[in-house]
Structure 1
Amino acid sequence: MVLFLLERVAPSPVDQVWRRLTTWERHGDVVPLTRVTVVTSPPTREGTVFVARSGIGRLAFDDPMEVATWRPPTEGHSGMCRLLKRGTFVTGWAEIAVHPYGSGRSRVVWQEELRVRRLPTAFDRPLAWVARGMFGRAVDGLLKLP
């Protein structure tokens, strides 16, 4: 199991950054070899389920996630959501928080606990390094998308 934290400052207001990070299908635009499908009907709320399918052909796996906490930002206030990873291969959770940060900017805090089943703990450090890099690039990409 690995736990990692990412922080970013975005030059956009909280509501815009929140929308960029929580439009789940967009994650497939920034994570290589991944397609995200929302299984439940909109809008996103507690209980929303979506699946990230990553890989190619038989080397692909599903990473189903459920929204456990959904608190969108309100005027001048932070937003936070918690996702539970419910896969047979990848488990854990992620918390995404978006806070006001000065005039018209936002601070993103992404914290995640990640477990890959049957992966020995000796691989935790390399997994943390890879996950931090991959999720960091994903967050950066989501913040740049229109």
Structure 2
Amino acid sequence: CRRQWDNITCWPEAEVGEVVVRPCPKYFRFLTTFLGNVTRNCTSQGWTDVYPAPYALACGYDSNSTPGEEQTAFYGTVKTGYTIGHTLSLIALTAAMIILCLFRKLHCTRNYIHMHLFMSFIMRAIAVFIKDVILFESGESEHCFVSS
């Protein structure tokens, strides 16, 4: 069997009949404390499917379980990261819009197109902030019981 990338794990070359065991990808550590292994067999028809399948089951992630402290902290960090990113973007785009609107010499078709593009990004950032206020109004970031 040839070397193969299945978009999650890289499987090395193997002989027919060989069983290859790979550890779960490291990013599953953000979602679960248990990290198992995944296995594939090399047959004359090529690689078999991953066992146990799917990856989430093999690596200990259970979508029905309540989120642990690591998972809650991870999602909180992601939320903080994209909030900071959208805030910086909103500030920079607003400054650019003010500059392009105030200086008459900068008025041309190309800049009008950019101004429309900037406005779409500004509205996108505002929509993200509104969504966060509505979904996470109770401060509870792991479930959406309040709004749903």
For the superposition of Structure 1 and Structure 2, which TM-score range results when normalised by the shorter chain? under 0.3
Q: Which has the larger radius of gyration?
A: 2
Q: TM-score, normalised by structure 1?
A: 0.28
Instruction: Return the structure number with greater strand share.
Output: 1
Instruction: Return the structure number with greater helix share.
Output: 2
Q: TM-score, normalised by structure 2?
A: 0.28
